Structure 1
């Protein structure tokens, strides 16, 4: 098995740092899936049905100037590496002004994901800071636990409002109770609310718009105003908004009635999906 990749653009290095920070906030341990055309980060291990789930994808051509990999075989041309997410973020977070950032699967005393950050000095010389992150190479029998989560067709999809605004609202409302109600309809409306024995708070968002595919799937006799809702653990929702660091060009909220909240962020060829089961 072989893997090495290089990012040379400062803008792309920043995107990878942001992505690594998001993964570190949402999954303590993650699996890095190396494919010929992309890198994928996911929650590690066999995830219980009622657990939150993270999935991130980075297209090969999105960030990397160089990219080479050889999987376990020609038929199974993939590599699965389990690692501590925070270790990766710590290794790359100081690379903002670096000339390049390199990732490579190496064999030291044990398998490692080696992160090499090339830094320029004021004298014009360069120095390379190397981090060897211990990884576990997953056997093929465990690959099935790290595949892209299958999300059932949702009842409603709506574009999210400004994430900074949402984060601020969720932070304030989270102090009031343990669970938050998220609801939306096919007319571009979304509400957030929280209720306790002593207080009830609700925030309204209008004219958000619905993704085209959700509009096309709408039955002709479906009430566009009817709200589809799901109660979720406010800590998980807050964790998502506090953890996400990329500046998405598209942000979507999908709701499967009383079952699942599925959040999707897209920045060019980088995507993040986070699923929160109903509470």
Structure 2
């Protein structure tokens, strides 16, 4: 496993996808902080600062990072088949589970490094804007990016399944994009509509009830979407108008947190079963 981790880590750091990932993080964070400051939007509390980070993740950051994580996994196995890396690796005393596990851990390390950079940029940007800098801001920023890391790991694992099912890495990229559009954009929109359709023409609508209905539908029907489960968790960082923190929100939504972790195990297990039966000649 150590051999596979080292090989994949070096390989990943040389690929354009990783540097595109880092570039997008910079483009999404740095100009965003500048524009917010120019518009006079200075966060006065840790809660307001974290909300600013959350809005970035729930908008463009989550979208682009989700696609890139899925693409990273979708080309993990088939590209090694195309260039012969797998055959060379398995000619050594390396088992398939060790090879796949090492590759997966390498992707986790790469994503972790990228998100640590994202955390540092976020904290520096918020401090520059005038947010109250301290241990609480650092802790909340790290917890937020920890959740995002778990979500991205799940998408990488889902990409592994595609990579073991589609031999051409180019075809897998197209399939991953189509899958992302259907599973993570189209279906969530349909589920959200189904959750709120009974309240559309209700003049006396209770918005707390609507929010609870949306969360219920998201948990039940979008169990496979880590970004959607993140949205449910982050929706509870406030209670009665007071910021209670991300750790409290995770504790309040154990099912949603469990789905993020559990579906990663399911996806990786499915990918290993496929990989174990693959003809690697």
Place the TM-score, normalised by the shorter chain, in its bin. Answer: under 0.3
Say which structure, 1 or 2, has more relative contact order (CA 8 Å, 6+ apart).
Answer: 2
Bigger fraction of residues in strand: 1
TM-score (norm 2): 0.25
Bigger fraction of residues in helix: 2
